[in-house]
A and B are shown apart, each in its own frame.
Chain A
């Protein structure tokens, strides 16, 4: 947002930065071998659906494409809405690389349809050696990853120390978000 935009009150939503998403494919090697964090076999992409006709048809077409390619790799596609009104497209099964490719296909399709700025984030689910969930969230608007470790239990708590340690461990492999204030949690992740 430039200064003139601030003065005139225009607001442009930031477009997606998909190019750094693929850093997760290479980073997965270190996550799995050195840090003993295995993928839970699921990844999701979160976007804000618009109630326009062509948005829904774009989403439907994109789901078909992902399902078709997913059949070869054994990836299943699932779609659901959450309480904030955002749509979750969950990919399960298959290779970890297939998940990354699938997520990228979804964001690519949305961007091609002109709705790239509606994409919020992608979530990759891992678990550590104690079976506790560790999520790496890719913020499309910032082009950076950040870790999210919900504390066990029903209340909305997060393990800040664990997250900071994850950041220190992966900072050379992934473009990690530098600004701690941008590490927004996602409560109630369905993967």
Chain B
């Protein structure tokens, strides 16, 4: 999905570069970019929900989900968003919408089955914090500014040459496209860093809303599955075997890949939440 996002943005940047290189005036390109942005701004939430097959759920159909969201909205002083459910076994929950009034919160059937009430409340609190912080709008505007930055660089490259003294007509179209691609790539990495920061903020917001950071830790461990979770296997069955089998630690640290991820690594999120819990308990 990350690769898709990156390539999509790259296509935007290259498209604008091509248009400029083909001689389209700055005004034309600016109008086109504004139109594309407006389309993205107003319809992205509907597209996201449609792509997952999410259907709006009434309180009669999903009383547990509605009840939890209502309680959280009272606590957060937010208007109640639309509630949707996606039929998939993959546990996930997300919020779309550019403002609290137009927001939709979606949960998959997978997550509704996997988590108990306290954990589900923690996860939905995380999503509602995204809504409250208007993260969708923030990220959209930030990525728009990244496109604007690459647009300005291209304009500068193309038209800056016209003011030069020599007869050459300025940099070739290849250079323009390459420059806009580079600017885009740099801003992409920065956008991912921004996205990770917003995730930490949403975790913190959930802990404050529910007052139970440990419920969110428990939910994250369940959703992540795999190695990093509190084990179910009895100590007597596990003793002695584990150290022998793993020559390399199961969780190898990835440094370069972490530049490109939208979410912070699970351990960092759990550590931050554990710090919050310790502060709550007065042992920090």
Contacts and interface: CB of A to CB of B under 8 A. Distances in A.
**Most chain A CB within a 10 A radius of its CB, from B230, B235, B278:** B235
Interface string B82-122: 00000000000000000000000000000000000011000
A4 B277 CA distance: 41
Interface string A146-181: 000000000010101111110111111000000011
Interface in A78-97: 82, 84, 86
Interface in B235-260: 235-240, 243-244, 247
Nearest to A169: B281
Contacts of A46: 236
B281 A6 contact: no
B283 interface: yes
Contacts of B229: 180-181
A181 B118 CA distance: 22
Given A168-B281, A183-B231, A184-B231, A84 B215 contact: no
Given A164-B274, A164-B277, A168-B281, A84 B234 contact: yes
Nearest to A85: B236
**Interface of A, helix, strand, loop or mixed by DSSP:** mixed
Given A6-B247, A164-B218, A164-B277, A84 B237 contact: yes
B230 A163 contact: yes
**Most chain A CB within a 10 A radius of its CB, from B227, B232, B233, B280:** B232
Contact of B234 (A1, A180, A181, A184): A184
A162 B270 CA distance: 15
A187 B283 contact: no
Given A165-B277, A181-B230, 6 more contacts: A139-B235, A141-B239, A169-B283, A180-B221, A184-B233, A184-B234
Interface of B: 118-119, 212, 214-215, 217-218, 221-222, 227-240, 243-244, 247, 270, 274, 277-278, 280-281, 283
9 contacts: A1-B243, A46-B236, A84-B237, A120-B235, A164-B214, A164-B277, A171-B283, A180-B221, A181-B230
